[in-house]
Structure 1
């Protein structure tokens, strides 16, 4: 009896305990277990034992109305551990989104136990290996499977065709190197299929795809497709976007595609398509918004019916063999923003109404045989960014509507037969203007403040050079050769601090060469030949050590400065009868050192004595000022440190001398200062402002540099030690990078005659392993900025000149004056003006004020192309820039090998170099959505480094 009572008490106790453990408590404990398996990341701090807050309100958790967890969404939360098996204990889980994390692992087969899963997104992680052949064991209810941007390899298993409920399948941007299965055609409910950017084995589009009758979005860019586009594509009536670009498809475009009534976007560019565009009846795809069939071998005429596409905004048909006239109906399209028809055989005149009924952004018809004049309404909508019409037979004046086209950034109309007078003032946002090989006359117009490139070679321009050049400090290249320009070269030329090329040859210039040219520290090419310049050659020009110098065919006289006595200049002074030199290197007569020479030597000695006395006096004054500074002036300085410091303000201020100056540019001067502390530390100091009114741009750059570099820490981002500011000066103090910038080494920016370590250093030229390591270092820094910072940081001026190298050639990103923090991942910020460096700027920088991480990805792609080819960012020859030139090389496989820098063309590494070259092309895709993220780029580069290591070990 007593035992029975005891048993009843025990059973009652356990019954009450079970009653107190609710399903909600069980799910709470499961989530806590998941958090523990993930290493208790700080982003899941709201996941705790406190019962004050329901677990349904924890970060990333959603529950149904009756309580169970149905949704876990932890996007971009820095999760670095595999997916716990416990996650499938949440029996009602229908949505699992873990995209944009750092999850490493093979495909998580434990998810087979999530029987109610509808949506699974594991994109943008570090999953590796093959997708298992039993993937069909995933939830039979699964509608969305998103595995984009991981590291999956091998083939896509045929069993994936058994997931019959799938509507959205994204396998793009992986490393699948076998084939994709025809069984994908069994997914009769499939609406979205993304296979793009995978190195599949060459294959045709399977005939089974004709069964995908619900398919609305097919994305197969760069999937190694071959053969013809099947006719049945025209029967997939739900098709909204068809993207088969960057493949090896041949044959003609099926006529049925032009009858897909729901089709909005058609991308067939960069294939081997031939034949004419055959509409086979009335145009049915009247909803088309974007058409890109460029870079093929299509021929025939452009169909007049395209003028019926009232929603068409983008029409790209360039690099084909189209002939005939551009239909006038194209000019009537109300939504057209971007028209690119260059490199065809088009004739006739341009549609006269072009731009009248739409806000045109880009207009490119270069390399055709078009005649007539430019349409008057090109900029009527006020949005025109780019006009490129070179190498045609165009005539007449530049339309007056372009005079005040405030948005115009690029204008290349060279090699036509334009005439007339240029407007007095160029558009305010203009970056690039090329009018060479025309018949323009009149004076040189007032240049836009933003102008970086101006080429007007071989025209009939006359008058004098503008006396005041202070407003165009961004100008990098100025070509005015072959005109009728007269007068003197104004001393104001010294204001062009960023000028790298100055070509004024074949004009009627007179007077002396201004010594002010010697202050142009960025100058590497100076051509003043075939003019009537007189007087002596300023010695300051010799201090520049110019790689290219031509002063021939003038009336110069006197002795050539000794600083210009180098064999590289042996044809730089021809046809100047009154010039002489002290040796025979320069192909000019030897100077006769008579009384005049002795007098000059006496003057030199006297000048030296005066200089010595001035130096002694300056040292005395500086010491006196320094003594006073230690009294009261230093108290006016404010200092903010970001790292432990072993120096004071006075140590920095006393080092701001001309002897320590190592560079200057648009943002200020840079000094190298050795601090006499116990470690003899060396720092770099940037002086942004000194004794003049602080402009808003300098203030923004200073604040941006301090805000960003003061708050982030990374081995591949230059270290900002502290900042100092007073009423009349602002200083930024950085760690010193012994080997300066990447462009100095990569592009051999040594001045002629400068004694450098180039001749005996193992690091010059940079070998491939060093270049690859530099690329990885930079990628790691950008990856941290884009994916490891909250909010993300966009640099906006990534270039080889802003990549600094330490004593071991480890790279760090510098110069954050233009950088911006994004408000929220995926939500781009706005900026008020175009910023960056030409050649590195993504195309969208010219027409969009929105910024995002893909702009940095483009710039980094240019750096990859520099590292693999040795060419400069602007060195694209007839194609304008390196990115475009590299893309053209990629179209012909044999040209890729030729493009590799000779300094690194070691057979051992050629394959790896080609892969990195192609990665650079991918990063510089004109479409931001086609560029990989820096996380993806970094993973590819890390694999290349491992491959190089394996080759070395072998």
Structure 2
């Protein structure tokens, strides 16, 4: 080792002495920068009024630094480079002093309530590379000088209220790699300058429905490294550029729900990296490209177009394909046998085309097939034998074909099967399916007696075997049909009596036994059913019809039954002989009694309080009580609840124990205009609705300063009183003695409420939006069947899906959809949001305004999901049993899906109901980023 010379040692010491001041200056500058940054951050905390989520932002000591203030702060080399204030309920403008953080490169302010135009003060953040302002309430135009942020690599302005043109200056942000402009109110057209962003990897312009119709600029296809292109539902027109196939890096293409026409470029299916193609709901035409080299394709959805020709045999090469949707087109020819060998195929949907020939016999043998939908074609031969070979099939939809033979024997052990729709074929044979919800096999060749296997399906919702060759008696042991909503055995050769137990099915609303050979009397118990459709015509029934059916609503329900009679001419049947004799006898008796009673009636009239004589009764069905019985029962002793528009009473009405609920809106002075409007709304809507899951309005009783609405009484009160202990009255009684609702009951309630809302949105003409869906407005009868109540805020829409306008926002905190709080334009999707909150209540046990100390339940659930926390940690500890975890997680995710901030991303109630019905199969519906439920349900 060489010993240092005196000269070299002296040189070293001199260097240290010269460099030391520089070190000290650098340290001082560093300390000064840290002090400055900390001051800016503490100023920000004060500006935001010291919210609890920043409680850990306290002045640092010698042992701490503001760089430890995570997760909001990110540092590099002890200097702030990242500021993240995500989902923190900020309602103030963006503070201009943020850019005093001189080294900041990332600002994420997403999922808040910033109420301003684009914050141009951010231009002072000279090093900014990442800016996320999505999911806020920014308004106005994107500035024309947006290129004042030249270093931006990521820009998300998604889900805001930006309007006007998208500035061409965006095309000058040459470093940009990710551009998210979806879901705003741009008017367009989209600037072609976006095609100049040569470094762009992800581009989304989806859900900009206010754009003027625009063609995709040809230079978009010059984005050579673009991986994701999303322009769903944004008024895109014209033909797809032929050069689309030159975008070699493209992985995901979503141009669905536009007005594209012309053919699909042949080069598109040659892209080696392409994994997802969504082109559904356009006007594309012509044949599909026959050569397919995009072997990474996982999902192809070309449904709802005008495509023709054969399905390419090359699709058999797509070994990664999980979903193929070609329905609602004009495809012809046979289904290629090679497709049935794809090892990852889960969903196969080709319904409503012109396909012919036989089905490939190997479908289901090589993949975990979940959905098989081939209805509305001209297919012949048998259904494939192996459809449920691997036990995953959920939906078999093959109606309206020319299929023959028996249903595949492999379906017999298919416990996952939920829906079987094979009507309008030439099929026969029935298997047993323990979890089946829908079985529609009308207009086939089923013969013999009704299979006993069908009577042991507790989850069955729909059973239709009409237009077959069934014989024998209707089954009498049917009490497992607790969920049955529709029963159709019409146009068969069934004989014998109608089973009395049909009248005990709690949610049956459609019953059709017409055109059979049934005999005997109609059971009086059928009068208990709340039927929307009822048909017993063309049978051999006899005797008197139940008194409930002597109603013009059922005038066609009993035609061509020669031995049926009624006590009144309302039913369009002959008058029963005994009734004629009784009428004569009673007429004579009444004549004698009239004079003797008149004296007492007059005296009683004058003895009554004069004010009671002014009550007006409007009945909506046959009543078994009098006005005076209701009025005398409205006392404090019978009070069971109160709300914003009145009090609710439990009123006994006769000696047999019948009880009704009476809602009183009563003021000392004239009714306020608001209450009068709510009263009239509720009467108008409920008097026209008949559904098992909507509370039944029996009558209204009114006078100048008082209004009474009389409903059927729900023994178990409201859902919130069962879910939330502080809302539970001490005298709550139930035939079920648990204090806590178990999961099967909660799922039953969710399904029932979904049925009611689905009816309002999709089956009422015109549709009805509730506008105040919440757990306290879901009533429960003695069997815990859900009934939607309180329609005072409801609005009738002119057309389904149309935006209606209301004068003011109404509803309950925690349940109000974001767009409803911001505007007064409403459609059915505000009910979907509120229902999603109810699903979150059912699964977590939390209240709607109780996510945590800072957020609502919906916001808390979204954050829990986005942070990849285990879903089971969010579930209600009181009912979290291992056997229910899959179902509960599925419903929790559905609640998240329903509470998407973007209305168009939420499912319809019809889709929600189908997903709920599938939850008992323990299949978790996928949660898609930008929401389209069309592929979630069979």
For structure 1, the 5+ residue unaligned runs are: 1-14, 574-578, 582-589, 610-629, 708-713, 748-764, 789-794, 804-811, 833-843, 867-872, 882-924, 934-954
Q: Does 1:658 align with 2:653?
A: no
Residue 687 of structure 1, aligned match among 685, 697, 715: 715
Q: Does 1:256 align with 2:267?
A: yes
Match of 1:226 in 2: 237
Q: Distance in 2 between matches of 1:724 and 1:299?
A: 51
Match of 2:862 in 1: 825
Q: Which sits farther off after the overlay, 529-538 or 444-453? A: 444-453
Compute the displacement of 1:352 (Å): 0.7
Compute the displacement of 1:861 (Å): 7.7
Q: Distance in 2 between matches of 1:721 and 1:296?
A: 41
Match of 1:273 in 2: 284
Residue 372 of structure 1, aligned match among 362, 381, 390: 381
Structure 1 contact 686–731 (Cα < 8 Å) conserved: no
Structure 2 contact 567–579 (Cα < 8 Å) conserved: no
The 5 Å alignment of 1:819-898 reads 820=844, 824-825=861-862, 829=871, 850-855=893-898
Match of 1:87 in 2: 98
Residue 580 of structure 1, aligned match among 575, 579, 587: 575
For structure 2, the 5+ residue unaligned runs are: 1-24, 598-636, 663-685, 717-731, 751-769, 822-827, 845-856, 866-870, 876-886, 916-924, 934-938
The 5 Å alignment of 1:197-596 reads 197-198=207-208, 199-280=210-291, 283-419=292-428, 421-423=429-431, 425=432, 427-445=433-451, 446-447=454-455, 448-520=457-529, 522-542=530-550, 546=553, 549-558=556-565, 560-562=566-568, 565-566=569-570, 569-570=571-572, 573=573, 579-580=574-575, 593-594=580-581
Q: Distance in 2 between matches of 1:207 and 1:766?
A: 38
Compute the displacement of 1:665 (Å): 6.2
Compute the displacement of 1:395 (Å): 0.5
Q: 1:218 to 1:358 in 2, by over 3 A?
A: same
Q: Distance in 1 between matches of 2:354 and 2:780?
A: 61
Equivalent residue pairs, number = 754
Match of 2:759 in 1: none
Compute the displacement of 1:451 (Å): 1.8
Structure 1 contact 385–847 (Cα < 8 Å) conserved: no
- Match of 1:687, SS state, is coil
Q: 1:469 to 1:695 in 2, by over 3 A?
A: farther
Match of 2:806 in 1: 773
Match of 2:767 in 1: none
Q: 1:75 to 1:547 in 2, by over 3 A?
A: farther
Q: Distance in 1 between matches of 2:383 and 2:785?
A: 50
Compute the displacement of 1:20 (Å): 12
Q: Does 1:103 align with 2:114?
A: yes
Compute the displacement of 1:668 (Å): 11
Q: Does 1:598 align with 2:585?
A: yes
Q: 1:431 to 1:350 in 2, by over 3 A?
A: same
**Deviations 1:724-771 (Å, cap 9, x if unpaired)?**
99xx9999999x94x5695xx859xxxxxxxxxxxxxxxxx9999996
- Match of 2:372, SS state, is strand
Compute the displacement of 1:698 (Å): 4.8
Match of 1:23 in 2: 33
- Match of 1:25, SS state, is helix
Q: Distance in 2 between matches of 1:845 and 1:297?
A: 40
Q: Does 1:176 align with 2:186?
A: yes
Residue 46 of structure 1, aligned match among 32, 56, 73: 56
**Deviations 1:314-344 (Å, cap 9, x if unpaired)?**
1111122211100000100010011111121
Q: Distance in 2 between matches of 1:267 and 1:86?
A: 43
Structure 2 contact 694–787 (Cα < 8 Å) conserved: no
Structure 2 contact 898–906 (Cα < 8 Å) conserved: no
Q: 1:605 to 1:729 in 2, by over 3 A?
A: farther
- Match of 1:550, SS state, is coil
**Deviations 1:228-248 (Å, cap 9, x if unpaired)?**
212221111111111122222
TM-score (norm 2): 0.69
Q: Does 1:112 align with 2:136?
A: no
TM-score (norm 1): 0.68
Compute the displacement of 1:190 (Å): 0.5
Q: Distance in 2 between matches of 1:410 and 1:35?
A: 55
Structure 1 contact 643–722 (Cα < 8 Å) conserved: no
Q: Distance in 1 between matches of 2:195 and 2:531?
A: 61
Q: 1:85 to 1:856 in 2, by over 3 A?
A: closer
Match of 2:8 in 1: none
Q: Which sits farther off after the overlay, 665-674 or 44-53? A: 665-674
Q: 1:777 to 1:859 in 2, by over 3 A?
A: farther
Q: 1:212 to 1:370 in 2, by over 3 A?
A: same
Q: 1:361 to 1:780 in 2, by over 3 A?
A: farther
- Match of 1:401, SS state, is helix
Compute the displacement of 1:384 (Å): 1.6
Structure 2 contact 862–896 (Cα < 8 Å) conserved: no
- Match of 2:35, SS state, is helix
Match of 1:914 in 2: none
Structure 1 contact 515–541 (Cα < 8 Å) conserved: no
**Relative contact order: is structure 1 or structure 2 higher (C-alpha 8 Å, sep ≥ 6)?**
2
Match of 1:193 in 2: 203
Compute the displacement of 1:658 (Å): 2.5
- Match of 1:334, SS state, is coil
Q: Distance in 1 between matches of 2:231 and 2:801?
A: 33
Compute the displacement of 1:202 (Å): 2.3
Residue 37 of structure 1, aligned match among 30, 47, 72: 47
Q: 1:216 to 1:704 in 2, by over 3 A?
A: closer
Match of 2:167 in 1: 157
**Deviations 1:579-619 (Å, cap 9, x if unpaired)?**
327xxxxxxxx99945895289879999xx9xxxxxxxxxx
Q: Distance in 2 between matches of 1:722 and 1:322?
A: 46
Q: Distance in 2 between matches of 1:100 and 1:146?
A: 12
Q: Distance in 2 between matches of 1:400 and 1:858?
A: 46
**Deviations 1:85-127 (Å, cap 9, x if unpaired)?**
1111111111111111111111111111111212111111111
Q: Does 1:144 align with 2:154?
A: yes
- Match of 1:200, SS state, is coil
Structure 2 contact 72–84 (Cα < 8 Å) conserved: yes
Q: Distance in 2 between matches of 1:716 and 1:371?
A: 50
Q: Distance in 2 between matches of 1:797 and 1:428?
A: 35
- Match of 1:249, SS state, is strand
